[in-house]
Amino acid sequence: MIDHQHLPDWRMSRTMQWCCSPDQIDGPLVDGLARCWLEVANAGGAVGFPFPPVTSAQVSAATKRLVASLEPRGTRLFIACERTAIIGWPALEQNHSPLTCHWARIFRVQTALSVRGSGVGRALLAEAARAAREDLHLDQLHLELRSGEGLEGFSAACGWEEVGRWPAALRFGPGDDRDEVLMVLRLAPATGP
């Protein structure tokens, strides 16, 4: 694990940490990530398991794959804890190509059901934006989300802007097509024509 970091205006029992390689994540932390992910997925959250319910074994395997993929120049996790419990996390994936390495993608943004509405989601996205700008020197963050669940409202409340949609790109079932919504957070002024 890396050093925990307290954010201003947070309860003293809440901490956040970046994890950029598998050796920063021990067994209990992997289990905590999976526990949070399982709860959020089975409550219908847009976190990569579109057809719940999912089993603990499925989520545990996905968590181990995600943790194994971490590397400082690739994918990293940002984890919020309350005492020893994980209460939320997103992942940030950088690009390697010189064509696209000025932006990164945020995915699996989630907060535990017990802390919803208390500012954890906003704090996670705020720290992701700070780190992207100040530590990684990126110009933009990208996020894709499903329409129909108010997630555009959450991202917009956190300063993100909708820049497009793939209409009805996501089919959750007969008669339940949703748009894939493309959101951007601009960290630097755009250049070029």
| Integer CA distances (angstroms), 89 to 127, 177, 191, in order | 11, 27, 31
Q: Is 40 in the site for ligand COA (CB under 6 A)?
A: yes
Position 154 contacts ligand COA (CB under 6 A):
yes
Shortest distance in whole angstroms from residue 181 CB to ligand COA: 9
According to CB under 6 A, which residues from 115 to 134 bind ligand COA? Answer: 116-122
**Number of residue whose CB is nearest ligand COA:** 121
Interface pattern 62-101 for ligand COA (x via CB under 6 A): ----------------------------------------
Q: How far is the CB of 24 from ligand COA (least distance, A)?
A: 23
Contact flag: residue 145 with ligand COA (CB under 6 A): yes
Contact between 109 and ligand COA per CB under 6 A: yes
Q: What does the longest C-alpha to C-alpha distance in the chain come to?
A: 49
Would you count residue 110 as binding ligand COA (CB under 6 A)?
A: yes
DSSP SS3 for 27 = helix
Of 17-25, 41-49, 61-69, 172-180: span binding ligand COA (CB under 6 A): 41-49
In whole angstroms, the minimum distance from the beta carbon of 126 to ligand COA comes to 9
Contacts of 15 (CB under 8 A, 6+ apart): 4, 5, 6, 80, 81
Taking the C-alpha atoms of residue 23 and residue 6, their distance in angstroms, rounded to an integer, is 22
User: φ, ψ for residue 37 (rounded to 5)?
Assistant: -60, -40
Residue of 133, 122, 132 lying closest to 92 (CA atoms): 132
Half-sphere exposure of 1 (CA within 13 A, CB side): 16
Residues 6+ apart with CB under 8 A from 47: 37, 40, 41, 108, 109, 110
Total of chain residues touching ligand COA, rule CB under 6 A: 21
Site for ligand COA, rule CB under 6 A: 40, 45-47, 109-111, 116-122, 145, 150-151, 153-155, 157
